[in-house]
Structure 1
């Protein structure tokens, strides 16, 4: 006999899902279809998940159209419509999910008690207890544990000549060291202030998108317009400053528009959300409706919880840990941008590039541990000063053909200082700050 409170709880959960597709992410990770006791509710939830898998928009009208061939199994259109009006607030959605899970666990225990009787042997009773424990534990996992499937998946991957070879950044030397940007990895890129870590990340992100990769760019320091300005400046050889202050010609604006249409067609999305949990949910929701190959997080310090009184290393570590889990669970590449310690700025020495290591990532302990690969960027930012540059030029100390960033103002060095999947080494890149552009040297 179904309890009326249980029916109402299930209706409110389903109603919330039909009114707010963002909640599907939360529900999908916490509850299974069989936790609904009323069979029509099971069918409704299964169809919602099916729509999510097909990357469809989820609302009441779309759901009814999608389910028209099986709507009778859900007690009809009128009942589904009533469910769509059952939840007016999402505030207690997580609490309702918890109540559903607890109710299902209680059902399993009661069912176990009903199945045990005096005529059963000890072995049979223990078997019943073990089976119930297994089902209870399943409530905590997102997917079923299947050992054979892991091996089958690996064998299929091993012999697949067309398997994914990673995402190319179009920066040849970096791709060679990293083995391209592979899904499931957390790759950290860091540099001191003013070197160009944001320019670097936006450059490779747009390169990837224009080659067909689906890119999700998290920008915590720049607006969407500023990100697009940098991309347009790089690819069309227009000064990003001239776009900002609107001193470009109409013809140049037309070219930018044509280029942005091309970028849009390649699914380049910019998010300015800075709450790490909301940011991750936004990524998962976007992935439900579109594919994602790579996520950029620019930069980590902007995603920490400042209300947390813990030390900075631990706060940053919680963010990097969540991003590493995201990369592995969602099978996407996550590129994390980080700041170098201020002490690096104070180093003088002409060989500063060799002094940068993983310990120079600001409050780095956990970030470095969570990262599969770490890349340090270096430029001699003193050469951005025209007077200083002219002085060195007159002294014959500027070498525009050099691959050493200390003596070439148009060179950026990228140092792979941690690589779980290959060798470490130094790359030379072409730096063109005026156009926010980084290319092969």
Structure 2
């Protein structure tokens, strides 16, 4: 094997240092048996680990006895030779070299496996996805800081900045309860069909764009043209039915052109209706480096592995989206359907999630959108200072009352708020209690 991948002399020298001076035995914890390419050096290393664990001295006699018990045929002279070729002051460089060789070997092996898969015609995106998952924890150096001093400094830097989250939902209730859209966090928006989960996601997206942030929107329910048309509706107030019919006046055309021009100028929106796997999402993220990813919706994504178990497949997709938040240090919002079995009950906890409760558990924050049943409207009318009939009349005019529920917030409390949802404008408007009528 190439000297770039293996250095048996370094392996021997490291072990010789431990035999010469047991005060260096703590260095055994900084390496693993995988760092040793030679069967004899690996056996000696494992024997030293066992002696240290048993509280015994790591000397020539004890190591030789351990090897004998393992039926490793090594002469005592081999161990003596180890102590003669090493320099204890170089043990730090030995550790560094052992790690470097191990990482080189690991990458070479993974590259070879990946090359074989590519040459055999396996799906390219899945091959890349699997390669990333297998190698993301292999480092040339230990650059990840997990000591309390480094973490404390990171927290101080954030607090001194005065604003840990640099992205807001742009919806007062959500920003007050959750605090904002944080890097490394997964937020789930869930609702039954036609209650407005896509509309709420688009409203959040447009608010994020106003902050100069880049958004990747993955849609598996609608075409990219439909999603853009919904954005135009939210920005212009021209309802989607009017745009679809083509019955648009001159002033409305002018407004649409202006909005599209602004969107093109900023180039912060990316809408994709072809991506259907997490592997493809990761590939697109590497290309455009968005600040926020929105997936509409998770049950329509294709799992990376066919597990013949829908619950496990959906759980796997959710877990992979959660990993994206950490691997790319970004925010992800996933949309989800709710179980029909909940009927008209207000959704709370994990039970309402369709097909997998992992959607709830993987998420840092969970938002439910719920349309109150007619039986619950009395309570809503009383809190809002309206009559039940006026709420029902508003619904007939296309403006329905909904509850936006923060069912889970890792850093806050669970709350809900009444909103008016205008279906023609695809817009949510927060309602204040005891304020009478609402117009959206």
TM-score range relative to shorter protein? 0.5 to 0.7
Q: Does 1:269 align with 2:270?
A: yes
Alignment of 1:270-285 (within 5 A): 270-272=271-273, 273-285=275-287
* CA distance in structure 2 between the aligned counterparts of 1:173 and 1:425, rounded to whole angstroms: 9
Q: Deviations over 1:48-69 (max 9, x none)?
A: xxxxxxxxxxxxxxxxxxxxxx
Alignment of 1:233-244 (within 5 A): 233-244=233-244
What's 2:130 paired with?
none
Cα deviation, residue 257, structure 1: 1.7
Alignment of 1:352-363 (within 5 A): 352-353=345-346, 355-363=347-355
Q: Does 1:145 align with 2:147?
A: no
What's 1:388 paired with?
none
Q: Deviations over 1:284-312 (max 9, x none)?
A: 2211xxxx321111110121328703311
What's 2:100 paired with?
135
What's 1:417 paired with?
407
Q: Deviations over 1:118-142 (max 9, x none)?
A: 5225968987764444335656138
Cα deviation, residue 159, structure 1: 1.9
Summarize the Cα distance change of 1:112–1:198 in structure 2 as closer, same or farther, 3 Å threshold: same
* CA distance in structure 1 between the aligned counterparts of 2:224 and 2:425, rounded to whole angstroms: 18
* CA distance in structure 2 between the aligned counterparts of 1:381 and 1:220, rounded to whole angstroms: 29
Cα deviation, residue 198, structure 1: 0.9
Q: Deviations over 1:251-273 (max 9, x none)?
A: 31221121122233441221221
Alignment of 1:358-437 (within 5 A): 358-380=350-372, 397-400=388-391, 409-437=399-427
What's 1:340 paired with?
338
8 Å Cα contact 1:206/1:268 also seen in 2: no
* CA distance in structure 1 between the aligned counterparts of 2:246 and 2:228, rounded to whole angstroms: 14
Q: Does 1:218 align with 2:239?
A: no
Query: Between Structure 1 and Structure 2, how many residues are aligned?
Result: 313
TM-score, with length taken from structure 1:
0.63
8 Å Cα contact 2:305/2:313 also seen in 1: no
Q: Deviations over 1:202-223 (max 9, x none)?
A: 1211122123222221112211
Summarize the Cα distance change of 1:221–1:109 in structure 2 as closer, same or farther, 3 Å threshold: farther
- Runs of 5+ consecutive residues of structure 1 not aligned to the other structure: 1-101, 384-395
SS in 2 for 1:165: coil
Summarize the Cα distance change of 1:262–1:128 in structure 2 as closer, same or farther, 3 Å threshold: closer
Q: Does 1:300 align with 2:298?
A: yes
Alignment of 1:78-117 (within 5 A): 107-109=5-7, 112=10
- Runs of 5+ consecutive residues of structure 2 not aligned to the other structure: 15-80, 105-137, 376-386, 432-440
* CA distance in structure 1 between the aligned counterparts of 2:279 and 2:199, rounded to whole angstroms: 25
* CA distance in structure 2 between the aligned counterparts of 1:113 and 1:373, rounded to whole angstroms: 48
8 Å Cα contact 1:321/1:370 also seen in 2: yes
TM-score, with length taken from structure 2:
0.63
Summarize the Cα distance change of 1:421–1:309 in structure 2 as closer, same or farther, 3 Å threshold: same
8 Å Cα contact 1:380/1:409 also seen in 2: no
More contact order relative to length (CA 8 Å, sep ≥ 6): 1
